[in-house]
Structure 1
């Protein structure tokens, strides 16, 4: 169960509203200026007279993104903070000017225009629930609204073509693994008109900036068939949304790359590496990011660790590789960071700090007021009149991690769309999957791959799509574990899959012409007889009923396994049993870039059994395809987001039984099945400590990967197999301790001699 962090600060604000009298007064602000630091600013500040910044309340939710909208279980529980000021600091005089302030709203993300005459920022006005974009002249006059509507628009950045790129919740989707709304990359004209969604991500995009070549650099979080907490890295796109590709780190786990900007006269960018699954308020370690060695080479990431600790900074503005303006977390300071000449280490120097900070406000988003050249303007390639785009794959064999896959072995690409989450009831995957995918996937069909490894095909535009390479038997050779997107009317090309990008492709020009582009683009061929979005009970359980339950039922219990469709506390017993026995091949929410044939249909033990290898249980092609499609679509239990549990329901059904029967369990069961019995193979648990499990795994694992052991105790002692909610009298928790002559299994001897035992009656009634 995902535990929700309550917004204690916001709750206090709602009870005792902030007034202007509560805001830090001007004289208090001025007392926080470090005049000695201002006298010793690096040379890069010589032509800069003022900087802007925001000071505001901090967020309470620990996630870096949970700072807009509200929590899904209570629309009156906001994720945003309250109270803020947009300020200017004169570096020559030390004077602080409050340009704009709000008592019960908030101000965030100010950026200075190229001509240094205006500022764009996100403002949630007093009494409103959403951020809109506003501009203000540099002297504090002429405030004007740019965007409006029942959405959050934030993290804006000026574009060289006169437009604005920003993050917005206009796509109307929710975080798959948490309780808040999703923001993705959008753009609009300079006056707020012509708003367009550029990113089709179903999770968060954040902190866009512009590279010298005119592309947008941004953080993209995604978890396609992999862990939800490990992959949030740098991507680029053109200002019209075309040419979306990895910049750095899509296979680098355990860090969030935020607020990255180009460094003048250097090929690297500088930004924040927010460790792990990220830090609230987007703080982290100041770092360099380079794609010189390839998009995933560890040499491309260099942390700047300060002598005074982990260096938790935010919102850096690099003047050079040696001088940076930033916000510091520990004491709510603005700092400049400079490289020491004697030891080449970096040291922060405070230039401003909030004094008497009893409200625990933060300083954020320092930006110099300075003119700067516009970046290159990239011509538009997208055509909004079209509903499709094209993709050219030059050579699928020009790919990393294809060991064991021979040239010519891949015959098709399976095209799958990841579906956004339009409703939300909790921060977990129940009942979509048992600790597997948080997302639903829709199978669109297949396209052919030529003998030279090339493919040319049409895709629906503006949808998150990924591919599965299939062999001649329709078994998965390799899954993408990321997604791509084509823009309307555009043609996208790639030379291979997960390639290093440090060498040319082997299937271009001269004698070796690319076969696929010698013909018209392939249309996606629909697969007959399968559901686009599979559902276990609708599509798979009937197949189990036909081929499996004659042996694997409650009565015969072959292999101590029932594959009947009875429901347990959250899932059907059959679904949970297949998952905990590693019969599916869905990856269990682990690391990315998995080896060939380790995910999907090639890794499915259930499909192998249905091919006749298991006691002649050979399924028809029609039935096999249903299970195949379900496997390739991430093996969901429930095929609709409407099946998600709400926060209060998510983990309570088993708790109800344990509470009602707790006394009996304590006296009659826990002497053997100890809930806290470390190392015990028969404890009554759903899952035990991940670190304890990890000792038995001989491969790299994700930090939050749902590890399943070869002979996992949960296959016998989870509430999801012990309780039968459809036929309670068939519950294993009742039959296992009941004597055979009384109709039980007597797997636990000398517990219940008959159904008249008071303990049995209490457990049965529970």
Structure 2
């Protein structure tokens, strides 16, 4: 008798080996008829073509006015492909003659001759395929890819899609032989291969689930993520989990349990099946391996710690950019950002490109787009998409960002926040100015709308909504600016591998009707980008770094008239250490971050600043006027590595202008001296806690008078709702604050407006300056109020020991 467990193991082993079966010939007519159905839908209402006409990579990808039916569309687009390849020197004279005959035949056959029109359509599709396969870019005879199922459970969310315990068992690492034939064959390169070292030594990977694949530059080694898909036993230990067993059960997620058998780990292997090595282990999700030019591997990991702030009732640990040696040793944190990041790749210049979710004091659905950094983690920068004017007028999120060979452009998936890594394909040109919408983007697959942003291509939602879903394209691998390998399925479930082009053509390469394909790439060596030397020192050699601002007035906005910036305030933010979005309510602004003011540094008369800063913590900066009030503030964070010298041209400087230093006749004043040391802030500013920073001012100046007038607001430190003091509840409506909630962008935008923030914009300071009875604050007391108002008017400084904080005790952060 075979046990249930035994039957499950047999089933999973069969599933994992699916791509090793001998392939049947592709049923191309059936595929083309499915594409015909999609074309008919696209032609039914052509308004989308007008709506996106100025945003496409090539106009041939639209439906033309002259297109009467799918046959016309395919003939026209095939002609665009043929013309392009002919200009590349491909001899397509015979195909051109056949296409001319089809074009003439289509002009003669009436539209109501349905069978004849369909026959013309199918002939055009088969001719298109022959033309497509003549492309000189297809100079490889094998493809590498993964198969995997969509997550079988968990929230339909950009973060949860990379949790091992949500993965459905099954899948494999496959090589596709003869990919550009009508009968390609796939084989499982790791079937029955045993892990050679680590906790899983001696075991195969047949029964788990795969995710995120990369190929080394020599074309011989692969790296990927894999999970055992382990179950959580009834007697599992929950003491080391972010939530209790009962809370997990109450929220219908008893499988959200982080342990080595339920999470993704990174593996490496040779393509001949040898040297299968487990590189990472532990209770963290490790995934998205990316070979770096120097032989190390970048990857995404939860090891940094912290939780996202809008996860509702479930734990969502933050995962960020890390790096390790090729053998798994030397794991190092590259990114100290406070929330999630995804999908690192290396561009043509050797820089790391990745997606960062960026919502410091702003909309939690406003920015998860392209960032870059050096391979050692230095100098994180947003060159595109971080400050939208309206979320719905461009991709909601961009994932799978990858550099296009021999180009400064990149390809990405316009993906949803409340969904998975699929959507529409776009091309990014970060060298163009960013207008906060589509100026840097072109649609490669314009018939597919941007999930969550649009209800139809070019027709934005009034307010983002992931309906219709639109998770149809994914995992693009650029061959050049016009041709891409990717996966596609209009049914959004079992994505097959396709070659797509900017002219609107797509050709099926491989599809498994029972499981999705992902991460297709040519199996061949590729050009290794330049190796950028590390400039980060070991932490024991340098506990600090330096920041240079060449000219704070260099900005892409207008400063308030007669503004003089005298100092920069350095603020440290603390990653969230509790998983529930409202535990605690850190202040009146939802999803605000705990923080601490480190202090200030001087700005010289020419707008320059040069100062030391701590390493390994997320920071943001504020430009202060002569009264010490914030005139401008970051709504993002940066961080430094030991020994790093971070340079900013200005404050939100125009990114495409020549660096200020290249236009100067002499060095900025700040660089003619030693770097400033941060002048520490007042007591109670780190961590910034209302009971420690503000309540002493109220006790000294306000409480006695307010007690004499029963109708006056209660300004005592007595604790009330949310654990907040009565005084905080009384003053919060008079404070200036920024919310992190979905949709807050409609009220507060995606970036600060100079002079209209913090204390300068608060009702409280206006009330005091207009004269509030006989209240006379000292400079120190006014400074404390200003500091609180400039830094989002929180109550708590950190996320734990709330009672102690409420009583005015200093509670340090658990995670920095």
TM-score class normalised by the smaller sequence? 0.7 to 0.9
> Match of 2:760, SS?
helix
- Which of 325, 328, 334 pairs up with 2:496? 334
The question of 1:315 aligning with 2:504 is answered: no
Q: Counterparts of 1:506 and 1:534 in 2: how far apart (Å)?
A: 35
Counterpart position of 1:503: 657
Q: What is the deviation of 1:410?
A: 0.4
Superposition map of 1:288-303 within 5 A: 288-295=427-434, 298-303=438-443
Q: Is the 8 A contact 1:109 1:155 kept in 2?
A: yes
From the superposition, tell whether residues 57 and 508 of structure 1 become closer, same or farther in structure 2 (CA, over 3 Å): closer
Q: What is the deviation of 1:281?
A: 2.7
- Which of 300, 324, 327 pairs up with 1:167? 300
Q: Counterparts of 2:708 and 2:273 in 1: how far apart (Å)?
A: 75
Q: Counterparts of 1:18 and 1:322 in 2: how far apart (Å)?
A: 44
Q: Counterparts of 1:644 and 1:271 in 2: how far apart (Å)?
A: 43
From the superposition, tell whether residues 294 and 307 of structure 1 become closer, same or farther in structure 2 (CA, over 3 Å): closer
From the superposition, tell whether residues 540 and 119 of structure 1 become closer, same or farther in structure 2 (CA, over 3 Å): same
Superposition map of 1:195-214 within 5 A: 195-214=331-350
Counterpart position of 1:64: 158
Range 510-519 or range 605-614, more displaced: 605-614
> Match of 1:625, SS?
helix
The question of 1:258 aligning with 2:399 is answered: yes
Superposition map of 1:698-737 within 5 A: none
Q: What is the deviation of 1:229?
A: 1.6
Q: What is the deviation of 1:563?
A: 4.3
Q: What is the deviation of 1:103?
A: 6.6
Q: What is the deviation of 1:499?
A: 1.4
Q: Counterparts of 2:630 and 2:522 in 1: how far apart (Å)?
A: 52
The question of 1:218 aligning with 2:342 is answered: no
Superposition map of 1:102-501 within 5 A: 102=205, 105-125=208-228, 127=230, 128-178=261-311, 179-252=315-388, 254=391, 255-275=396-416, 278-295=417-434, 298-307=438-447, 310=470, 312-329=472-489, 330-339=492-501, 345-355=503-513, 357=514, 361-384=515-538, 385-406=541-562, 409-421=564-576, 423-428=577-582, 430-501=584-655
Q: Counterparts of 2:557 and 2:295 in 1: how far apart (Å)?
A: 42
Q: Counterparts of 2:379 and 2:19 in 1: how far apart (Å)?
A: 50
Counterpart position of 1:588: 739
Kindly indicate which of the two structures has a greater share of residues assigned to helix: 2
TM-score (norm 2): 0.69
> Match of 2:800, SS?
helix
Q: Counterparts of 2:158 and 2:434 in 1: how far apart (Å)?
A: 23
> Match of 1:320, SS?
coil
Counterpart position of 1:625: 783
Q: What is the deviation of 1:29?
A: 6.8
Q: Counterparts of 1:452 and 1:585 in 2: how far apart (Å)?
A: 30
Q: What is the deviation of 1:614?
A: 2.2
Counterpart position of 1:98: 188
Q: Counterparts of 2:19 and 2:595 in 1: how far apart (Å)?
A: 57
Q: Can you list the C-alpha shifts for 1:476-517, whole angstroms capped at 9, x where unaligned?
A: 110011222222112121211111222235566654531000
Q: What is the deviation of 1:447?
A: 0.3
Q: Counterparts of 1:210 and 1:523 in 2: how far apart (Å)?
A: 35
Range 99-108 or range 26-35, more displaced: 26-35
The gaps in structure 2 that reach 5 residues or longer are 32-125, 192-204, 231-260, 450-469, 741-747, 804-816
Q: Counterparts of 1:391 and 1:249 in 2: how far apart (Å)?
A: 24
Q: What is the deviation of 1:547?
A: 4.1
Q: What is the deviation of 1:350?
A: 3.1
> Match of 1:500, SS?
coil
Counterpart position of 1:602: 760
From the superposition, tell whether residues 337 and 206 of structure 1 become closer, same or farther in structure 2 (CA, over 3 Å): same
Q: Is the 8 A contact 1:394 1:455 kept in 2?
A: yes
Counterpart position of 2:12: 20
Q: Counterparts of 2:16 and 2:639 in 1: how far apart (Å)?
A: 47
The question of 1:613 aligning with 2:757 is answered: no
Q: Can you list the C-alpha shifts for 1:317-367, whole angstroms capped at 9, x where unaligned?
A: 01122221112352412232433xxxx642333333332x4xxx5332222
The gaps in structure 1 that reach 5 residues or longer are 1-12, 71-77, 646-766
Counterpart position of 1:671: none
Q: What is the deviation of 1:469?
A: 0.6
From the superposition, tell whether residues 437 and 468 of structure 1 become closer, same or farther in structure 2 (CA, over 3 Å): farther
> Match of 1:294, SS?
coil
> Match of 1:246, SS?
coil
Q: What is the deviation of 1:475?
A: 0.8
Q: Is the 8 A contact 2:401 2:410 kept in 1?
A: yes
Range 595-604 or range 293-302, more displaced: 293-302
Counterpart position of 1:540: 694
The two structures, once aligned, show a CA RMSD in angstroms of 3.1
Q: Counterparts of 1:200 and 1:116 in 2: how far apart (Å)?
A: 32
